[in-house]
Structure 1
Amino acid sequence: MAATNNQNPREFAHFKRVCGAWTIEALQARFEEHRFAAHTHDTWSIGAVISGAKDISAKRGGGQVFQENQVYCLPPDSPHAGRVVGKACEYVMLYVPDGAWREQCESLGVDLRQFQHRLPADTRQARRAQAFVDRIFRSPEAIGAWAGEWSLFCESLLDKYRSAPRLTESASSMRADPALARAYEYLHEFWNRNVSLSDLSRESSMTTSDVCRRFSAAYGLSPHRYQLVLRVMEAKVRLLMGAEISEVASETGFADQSHFGRHFKSILGVTPGTVAKGGRRHR
């Protein structure tokens, strides 16, 4: 990827790499004058235009222009370049290994071919991508420490592209499946550890996509979201018993208090501090 010469003080480009189950790279950038030479990446390139517009055509007149709030996804080895359309363009990028992106799409029942076409502008999707990249820059250890962070982001980003489930079994019959029960028990036993889809695949003797799809159908939540709920509910119990917020965050598997607080409020609608105060008033 070409680099800016940074002569224009209004331009910036920030790069961060996160190493966890997969190595994911992130870019935050704003350009006015800089032009990227034609190039490729050996990863999927997932971009979201935050403001302005950009033309990523590798050849003149290619017409690959993305506007504000559009999310786009380029397969590995796709030739592209980059120039601003208009006065300025701010955007974020994620560079994701082929295996990591395919694993998420397959587990969620998303056809990868959808992303080889232009996607409609979607403010919510663009903001989700921006928020995830922001978290990578603010708390890379949180993203790298738990594979669920990546899976939950993909779940929120890809949800609208999921195909209808093809499973015809009832949820109760699937829960009775010994293989799926082993995955369920493993999540409960190691609720505060970094449980990956590969771990659940090994325990259940299913592929990662099968265990994710069947678990979601049986329990109504993806494995990583289910594990997140287990962590938050246990954290709530400990807060009500008088434990300190920082201790609870660490003991329940969260990388830091910011990471803990964000997920806690997303599930319960209140902050950990609010719950802790409520517990103290009733002791």
Structure 2
Amino acid sequence: MELGSTFFNLDCYDGIECVDAHFKDQHFSKHVHEGYAIGVIEYGAQRFYSEGEHHTSGADSLVIVNADSVHTGESASENGWGYMAMYPTPELFDDVLADLTLKSSNAPFFHQPIIHDSRLVNQFRLIFSELKSDPSKLKVETLVYAFFMRLTLNQRASRIKDLLKKDTSKVHIAKEYIHAYAEQDISLEKLAKITGLSKYHLIRQFASAFGITPFQYLIQCRIQRARHLLFQGQIPAQVALACGFCDQSHMNTHFKRALGVTPARYQKQLNR
């Protein structure tokens, strides 16, 4: 068994990014994903931070991190841990659940980061096991659809839109600005000016609201942008500069801390 992450895309719903990961000494720094991180621990145990609390998940447990939610990850067992995970976007949930709710906004917010439900775990594992036999696109779509429906209907969740209620607070303005201009050299002075907050209060309120500093969020936005460009086949060195990193080495460092794999290997895995 090789240590590290193997990324790939499901051939359904315009592609859902997935990973098969095995780690021993890996420590994921605080990071975010555009989509949800939904996975099953196959062996060992994982310790992670999510939604303001620390958690430990063991084998056969289903772990959920909400989209754009700060989290970490590290081994909680001597021999490390292994897991399979997928990263569906909020837009995918909007689409999948639309037939059921007859609404356009359906992306849920999950309140339980660790779920012990053997039926859900088995459904999740079935998706990955079926991939080994080169299944039809219809079969994969059906399995994914069934899993998302059971997950959403049987777990404590509320709609993201209802929770946020179009929050226009000052730190959200700063967050949106960073997301929009992540490739630029954004200064703390600029963020303070557009929010009307002092630099001290901006950093403090931003960290309180999102769990990371403005700079850490800037790095996460650059990593997310880099993932898209790498998937499109652009050269890593060019991607680094286009996303605002000093150079490819700088991007490699942050990319591996967040995903456990280098940009070049990530690109090779997704485009093979």
Q: Which has the larger radius of gyration?
A: 1
TM class, shorter-chain normalised? 0.3 to 0.5
Q: Which has the higher contact order (CA 8 A, sep 6+)?
A: 2
**TM-score scaled to structure 1, two decimals?**
0.45
TM-score, with structure 2 as normaliser:
0.47
